[in-house]
Structure 1
Amino acid sequence: MAFQESTVPDVYQANFEPTAYLDYFKLGQNPLSDEFLHFLLKHYNATFKSGGLKGKLLIDIGSGPTIYQLLSACESFEEIIATDYTDKNRLELEKWLKKMPGAFDWSPVVKYVCELEGNRDKWTEKEERLRRTVRQVLKCDILKERPLEPAVLPPADCLISSLCLEAACPTLGACRAALRHLRTLLRPRGHLVLSGGFETTFYMVGDKRFSALPLEEKFLLEALQETGFTIEKLEKAQRPAEGSDDRSDYTGMFFLVARRRD
């Protein structure tokens, strides 16, 4: 499903099915998906654990219908705002936050994060803390100069964004522009936490194939420098050779922490 910059939002609004996408996050069903998710969760834990990043406001850019990326951060920030472009994703997220019937069961993932934190048994408390901390679920379009308009928010202490840039940006130029747009949402010297896959050209959501922007390490680091960020940490891992998953063709995983200059 190839698309031009002007049509990306329309393609997602019309074709992205959150319940099908959530299959990627069912632990124990596919070793490659598990490996990717474990990689992200371990680094979120290391980034937000005691002594790590903390503050008042964290904004999650392109949340999709998922919460895994917020499970460690909710211990370190007073308020979290989740965002996504599509109506269906925001509704699916609200379904979990409000404990509505048919919400996705995140408990295996929450238990894994609690295990990383040293207390697997506190998973129900973790879920409740996250529900209290996520105050709003807003519409977001990173291709726009003001991604969250018409909402007006104070500058965030931290932005996180997982698996969003490669999905939302059709060109490298659009990706650079998106990073500039995100920078405007951060306070000076605030942090940007990015994660995703390297060199992904497509991924499947159910029977729908979505094009992705193949990001390479060199481009990503240069683009962040050019758009006013200083890289503080970069973690990466190769896609495991064993196991198979034809739903996506990423070659590796990355997790990075950058700080807005000035």
Structure 2
Amino acid sequence: MDPGCHKLYHVHGFDSRQFLEHYLSDKADMVFGEESLKFPIENLTKVFTEGHIKGDVLIDLSLSSMVHHLYSACEFFNHIIVLKAQDRCILELKRWLNTRTGAFDWGHATKLHADIEGKCDQLQDKEEKVRSAVQHVMRCNLEQENMTDPIVLPPADCIISTWILGAISKDQDEYIRYLRKFSGLLKPGGHLIIIEDLDGTYYTVGNERHHYLTCDEDFLRKALVGEGFVINYCKVQKRTNMSDLVDYSSSIFIAAHREKSV
């Protein structure tokens, strides 16, 4: 489908609070809990607790104003830097980080993470650890050579990219270009974690449809290998929800490390 028919996240933006309510809330009519909440948290918990992915700096380049995907990371990295392409997403995230009135309630995700870790007595402590670890939330320009110009970021030990590559790439060539740009933020041998939806074309926020790149597991694997990555872990889960807010067939989680420069 022509991406020109739908809005692009980094060009047009969207209401980040509506996105969270649609896809990540604890409302009774929110049907994406299995894919949007449980699937990322389970797999992130697995790859981090295995102990191979850790270090000083983690950079998060993800869609909207999510924090649930950082719960495991805060235990293994001293500094988390969050980059956002839209000011509204920064404001929404900072509202939660600064515990302001009206912030999105991530309590259900915190409890889910604690249940998966088997640490149900540490709910409040978990949220405070995330807030302490997220030391910078910065605006980025995805088209600049240095996305955070004039600030130069320290090389990262790990990058997490959740749903954003599919949302900003009009075609597969652009996906590889952005993947290369993101990878340039890594240290040699650094790790990259990608969470995407497969075989989709759009997602809805409010009354607006936004573009999402159609791709499959084979394309993602080849793209990573082509950029010098070795895939350490891959998990695909078929879609279980019924909703016309978004179209996709399954979700994928990939953890890889960069073996060589390309």
TM-score range, shorter chain: over 0.9
**Unmatched tracts of structure 2, length 5 or more:** none
Q: Are residue 11 (structure 1) and residue 15 (structure 2) matched?
A: no
Structure 2 residue identity aligned to 1:254: I
Shift of 1:11: 1.4
* Conservation of the 8 A alpha-carbon contact between 1:63 and 1:83: no
Cα distance between partner residues in 2 of 1:89 and 1:187: 27
Task: Report which stretch shifted further, 211-220 or 187-196.
Answer: 211-220
* Conservation of the 8 A alpha-carbon contact between 1:28 and 1:34: no
Corresponding residue for 2:228? 228
Corresponding residue for 1:168? 168
Corresponding residue for 1:247? 245
SS at match of 1:3: helix
Q: Are residue 35 (structure 1) and residue 26 (structure 2) matched?
A: no
* Conservation of the 8 A alpha-carbon contact between 1:59 and 1:80: yes
Cα distance between partner residues in 1 of 2:52 and 2:25: 28
Q: 1:141 to 1:224 in 2, by over 3 A?
A: farther
Corresponding residue for 2:115? 115
Q: 1:143 to 1:169 in 2, by over 3 A?
A: farther
* Conservation of the 8 A alpha-carbon contact between 1:144 and 1:178: no
Corresponding residue for 1:82? 82
Shift of 1:142: 3.7
TM-score by length of 2: 0.92
Q: 1:31 to 1:25 in 2, by over 3 A?
A: closer
Corresponding residue for 1:192? 192
Task: Report which stretch shifted further, 84-93 or 26-35.
Answer: 26-35
Percent identity between the two aligned chains: 33
Q: Are residue 92 (structure 1) and residue 78 (structure 2) matched?
A: no
Cα distance between partner residues in 2 of 1:232 and 1:139: 30
Corresponding residue for 1:257? 255
* Conservation of the 8 A alpha-carbon contact between 2:201 and 2:248: yes
Matches within 5 A, 1:61-76: 61-76=61-76
Shift of 1:248: 0.5
Shift of 1:211: 1.3
Structure 1 residue identity aligned to 2:68: Y
Corresponding residue for 2:127? 127
SS at match of 2:99: coil
Shift of 1:133: 0.4
Shift of 1:8: 5.7
Question: How many residues of Structure 1 are paired with residues of Structure 2 in the alignment?
Answer: 257
For 1:175-208, what per-residue CA distance to the aligned partner results, in whole angstroms no more than 9, with x for missing partners? 0001111111000000000001001100001111
* Conservation of the 8 A alpha-carbon contact between 1:61 and 1:161: yes
Cα distance between partner residues in 1 of 2:33 and 2:194: 19
Q: 1:143 to 1:175 in 2, by over 3 A?
A: farther
TM-score by length of 1: 0.92
Compute the RMSD of aligned alpha carbons.
Answer: 2.0
**Unmatched tracts of structure 1, length 5 or more:** none
Cα distance between partner residues in 2 of 1:235 and 1:126: 25
